[in-house]
Structure formats: structure tokens, C-alpha cells
Chains A and B, each alone.
Chain A
């Protein structure tokens, strides 16, 4: 009964994601046509499209990853159905609020809504609180969902085991499945960045309601914006990786991957680096202390290295000269890893401070993140969708 309910809600998530994805692709194509001067949109329409496209894409592929992880987590622990429903209801409300703010209210400050843009009213007055409110509503839904999943995980696995610390000793007595380790690491990051969003929105509303008696520090606001924005965009990729670790060997008819000391170390390090890599968005901010800029560069290199190299290594070892059963599911996973690596290399080139002087604010930036999102993360989720609806693989969880 429980698993039927979970299947139903996961199917509904998939449906929502796919419908919104198609709408978003249309918005993306309209933007490209406009940039190529084949059609002519007013700047307001272009930026309203961009804001809607950006935030909706981030939102849908984040929830796609969460829904997949939630579904697979049921193999190990009992997850909360009500938290899943709350997240869905709030996501749908949030998306509707977002679209109302951009298309009725004409809010068009970009999905990163950099301070002080939202407070510089160049649209309907209600559109700013509506836009910020949409992020809050979605954020609260996702926070509830993540906290609930983490609580269920911790009910079964003590914290140190969920983080696979026993693997740092020789001959660990218990195993932490890689899926549990990656989910735990990712959920901590997600909770941190969503709390960042709550703080950011609180700061915005404090200024908005204070009638000029309180103003924010632009540097703090930009740091908080990217602590939230960069981190969530990154964590949604890691949700996809958790799914790969769980399903890639299984679908290929190979034994399950095991957590080893280096897998445990890589993912534990990733937690730290992922929360500090966002500093690379502030290279152009001369008031940011140089130390933070250096941390940003090093953390960005390091964040990509452990998770990426361990995953690539595992995937390559799994397919190289090994008779595996290929299907659309693991083909999508495989191509997704390749897209992720190519886009990731583009990111690493861009986070190098000297290169960033040239690449900042150029099409390089959307190019690299579209590569690892559209050709990486999206394919991870599509692979899950294919697996989910493929009768051959079902009978799980």
C-alpha cells in the first residue's frame, strides 16, 4: 500500500517535471531566437522569460532528483509520504506564484535576483513580494522534505555511519551503502543552502518593510544569494549521482557498488568544498577579501575533483571490458556522466581567477552550466524516469 502511494506520487512528480520541462525548452528556444535576432522581444519580455526559465529549470530538476532519491531511499528506510505531498503542493504553488510574478507582474530580475534589483521596482509593486514569496514557499516545501528524509535516514543509521566514517578504519564491521552516504551528504548541503535562502529572504523583507530605516549590506546579500543559488544548483547534480550509484550497476546486471575508504573520504570532503565553492561567483567584487577569493578557487577545484573522479572511475571500471547489459537507462546515465564531465571542465576553466577576468559575464557561463545540466543532470533524471516506468526493472523497491 505504502509503496503504491509512493509510486503514484513519484509518477506525478515525473509528469509535472516533464510538462514544465517542455514549456521551459520553448522559453529557452524563444530566448535563443531573440539573441539571434530572428524574433524581436522587448528586453522586459526577454528577461521575464529568462527569470522564469532559470528558476523553473532549477526547481524542476531539483525536485526530479529529490523524488528519485526519495523513491530509492524507501529500499533502506521508511520515508514520509506527507512530507512528499507537502513538498509537491508547495512546489506547485511556488511555481504558480513565480509565473504570476514574471508574466502578470513583469518581474524580470533574473533567477539570481541580485540585490538590490528586486527592491528597485521596475514592474508591478506586488511582483517583488510575489517573486520572493514564491522562493520562500518552494524553499519551505523542499526544506521540509529534506529534513524529513534526513530524519528517517538518521533513525536507521547513526550519523557517523550515515557519513561512512567507519570506512576510515581497517576492516569496517558494517557497510554504508554509497547511496545512503551520498544522499546524506547531499541532504546536509541542501538543508544548509535552503536555510541560506530563508535568511536571504528575511533580509530582503526586513529592508522592504523598514521604509528605509534598515538597509542591507550588498556584499552580504550577494554572498548569501550564491550560497543558496550556486549550492542548490550543484546539489541537484549530486542527487543524480546518488541515483547512479544505486541503479547503474543494478541495471547493468553487475554487483552493487561498495563504499570504500576513498569513496567515503571523497564524499565527506565534497560536503565541505561544496559549501565554500560559491565564493567563485564573487571574483569581481573588489570588497570581498582576497582570502575568500582564494578559498573560492581552491574549493571549486576540490569540489569537482573527489566526487567527479571517484564517480568517473567507478563508471569507467564498471563498463570497461565488462559484459554489462546496456539499456536506455544506463546509456542515459553513461552519456550524462560524459556531459557532466565536459560541462564540469568548462566550469573549472571559469573558476580559475585569471580566466574569470575574461569569461565573467560572457556566454561561457550559461554554456558551461547548460552542458552539465542539460547533458548531465537532466539525463540522470531521464534515466531514472525510464527505469521507473520500465516494467522489466520494476518489482522494486
Chain B
């Protein structure tokens, strides 16, 4: 009997291992890629033709880097408009510069100046509009991969905002149009301020330790807590089970 248990244990373990090899991880970690890596120190040309390096900017103040291109007929405009709108409110104590950088080699300094005027930000000192000759290296260092679609004459790309702290490290990335809380967390992170965060329950998260109710703001114990106690419970049941099944043989 005991030997059979051993054999099934071994068989089970080998099954698990061989099955595991065939798999490829599909999780989407785009926002996590390149975090705490140093951003490429690209040379950039900002308003009025001033040439700088990215490190000169971030050494002064942390940078929120928005990657866009001026001929975009898709996400770039709403992305910048929402960023502007969110930043009108004081959402975090931290300070920063917003660098709007074109990733399209066709964009010129004039295009970027025009864009700043269109957004009404040409005189806002917190915002800089720039072009760069080092876009390939920069894209690679922040994990940004725009793909040129020749039929639409457009780039297929994410709306990416990259948070860079004063030491040039990427502390946070946000993809898509995001709310003020997310932005506040990014500003905190580039200023090295701790932001507590915890993945909120969603339909894919079955065994949460706590279930958060956004309406009441309260946490209730979840199924995960039971899982935590499970090994100890099963171990005790096993002890009692073995003790019961061998009791005839005891002295």
C-alpha cells in the first residue's frame, strides 16, 4: 500500500515536470519591462533649437517622458490632452518635467513647436517638446516598439509614459490613457516616494486573501485565507488519518 503511494507521488511529479516544459509564458508584462534600468542618455533638441542630453534634464528634475509623433491620427492627441488635463491639478507633492518626445524621424523641431502651440503649452515651463537622433537606442532602453504600417502611413504604437528619476532610472511605466491616481503614483515613484499598491481583485483573480469593496471601501476575508490555512489543516488530517489507520499495530 505504502509503496503504491510512493509510486503515485513519483509519477505525479514527473508528469508535472515534463508538462511544464512545453509551455510559453504569455503574461503581459509590458509595463514592468525595463523597470529600474537606466534610460539611454539620448541627445535631444528642445524648443528654440537648444541641444541637451536627457541626463542634463533628469539630473535637474525627474522626467515624465511621453513618446508621440505629430502626424498621429490615433492615440497621441487624446493621450497628450489627457495628460495635460490631469496635470492641471496638484495630484502629488513631487516635482518633474514633462518631456514630449517624437519617435518619428520625420518630425522636425518646427513640428514639435506647432504641437506645443496646438496644446497651448508653448509657454509652460514644465513642458518641453523635443526631437532626437537617438530614437532607436532610446526606444530600446524603455521597451517601446512602434511598428510602421505603410498602408495607413501611421505607426502602430502604445501610448507610453515613462517615469525617470533623478538618477536616470525608469521607475514606472504607464501604457494607455490613465487616470489621475496612476499618474500621481508615477510622480511619486520618480521622486522616490513610496506608493503602496496592491493588485485589485478582478475576474481573473480567484483566490484573493481579501475582497475589496470599492463602494464601502472595506476589505472582507477572501478564499485565499483558507488556502493559507490549508497545508496545516491537511497535515493535521494526515497525522490523524495515519494514526487512525495504523492503530491496531500500536503497543
For residue A45, CB closer than 8 A to chain B, the reply is: no
Asked if B235 and A211 sit within 8 Å, CB to CB, the answer is: no
Taking the nearest CB of chain A, how far is it from the CB of B3, in angstroms? 7
Question: Which one of A83, A133, A207, A213 has the greatest number of beta carbons of chain B within 10 Å?
Answer: A133
Which residues of chain B are near A289, meaning CB under 8 Å? 210
**0 or 1 for each of B215-250: is its CB under 8 Å from A? (1 = yes):** 000000010100110111011101110110011011
Binds A, one of B8-16, B50-58, B147-155: B8-16
Contact with B along A153-172 (1 / 0, CB 8 A): 01111110000000000000
Residues of B in contact (CB 8 Å), total 51
The smallest beta-carbon distance between A210 and chain B, in angstroms, is 8
Q: Please report which residues of chain B, range 24-42, place their CB below 8 angstroms from some CB of chain A when the two chains form the complex.
A: 24-29, 32
Q: How far is the CB of A95 from chain B (nearest CB, A)?
A: 14
Interface residues of A (CB under 8 A from B): 80, 82-83, 86, 90, 97, 116, 119-121, 125-126, 128-130, 132-133, 136-137, 140, 143-144, 147-148, 150-151, 154-159, 188, 191-193, 195-196, 198-199, 201, 203, 205, 207-209, 211-220, 223-224, 227, 275, 286-287, 289
B12 touches A154 (CB 8 A): no
Q: A208-B25, A215-B204 are in contact. Are A192 and B242 (CB under 8 A)?
A: no
A154 touches B246 (CB 8 A): yes
A83 to B9, CA, bound (A): 12
Binary flags per residue of B138-178, CB closer than 8 Å to A gives 1, else 0:
00000000000000000000000000000000000000000
B interface, over-half SS:
helix
Asked whether any CB of chain A lies closer than 8 Å to the CB of B196, the reply is yes
Q: Are A151 and B2 in contact (CB under 8 A)?
A: yes
Contact between B235 and A191, CB atoms less than 8 A apart:
yes
Q: Which one of A90, A191, A214, A223 contacts B204 once the chains associate, using CB atoms below 8 Å?
A: A214
Residues of A within 8 A of B206 (CB): 214
Cα A290 to Cα B186 with chains together (Å): 27
B231 touches A192 (CB 8 A): yes
**Cβ-defined contact, B26 with A211, below 8 A:** yes
Query: How many Å from the CB of B225 to the closest CB on chain A?
Result: 8
In the complex, what residues of B have CB within 8 A of residue A155's CB?
Answer: 246, 249-250
A220 touches B224 (CB 8 A): yes
Contact among A97, A125, A129, A159 for B243, CB-based, below 8 A: A159
B21 within 8 Å of A (CB atoms): yes
Compute how far the CA of A201 lies from the CA of B13 in the bound complex, rounded to whole angstroms.
Answer: 11
Contacts of A116 in B (CB 8 A): 27
- Verify B17–A129 contact, CB threshold 8 A: yes
Q: What is the CB-to-nearest-CB distance from B56 to chain A, in angstroms, rounded to a whole number?
A: 27
Q: How long is the Cα–Cα vector from A211 to B28 in the complex, in angstroms? A: 9
Q: Given A195-B235, A214-B206, verify A136-B16 contact (CB < 8 Å).
A: yes
Interface majority SS (helix, strand, loop, mixed), chain A: helix
> Is the Cβ of B25 less than 8 Å from the Cβ of A144?
no
- Nearest Cβ in chain B — how far from A281, in angstroms? 13
In the complex, A188 Cα to B234 Cα: how many Å? Answer: 11
Are B247 and A148 in touch, CB under 8 angstroms? no
A-B contact pairs, 14 of them (CB 8 A): A119-B27, A129-B20, A147-B5, A150-B239, A157-B250, A188-B235, A192-B231, A195-B234, A199-B230, A208-B23, A208-B25, A217-B199, A220-B209, A289-B210
Instruction: Establish whether residues B17 and A199, one from each chain, have CB atoms under 8 Å apart when the complex forms.
Output: no
The docked-state distance in angstroms from the alpha carbon of A159 to that of B49 is 83
B8 to chain A minimum Cβ distance, whole angstroms, is 10
Asked whether, in the complex, the Cβ of B23 is within 8 Å of the Cβ of A129, the reply is yes
A224 vs B224: C-alpha distance in the bound complex, in angstroms? 10
Known interface pairs A119-B25, A155-B250, A220-B208; A133-B231 also in contact (CB < 8 Å) = no
Chain B residue, CB-CB nearest to A191: B235
B251 at the interface (CB under 8 A from A): yes
Closest 10 CB pairs of A and B: A129-B20, A192-B235, A196-B231, A133-B17, A195-B231, A220-B224, A159-B243, A211-B26, A140-B13, A217-B208
With a CB–CB cut-off of 8 A, which chain A residues contact B89? none
When distances are taken between beta carbons in the complex, the residues of chain A under 8 Å from B21 are: 126, 129-130
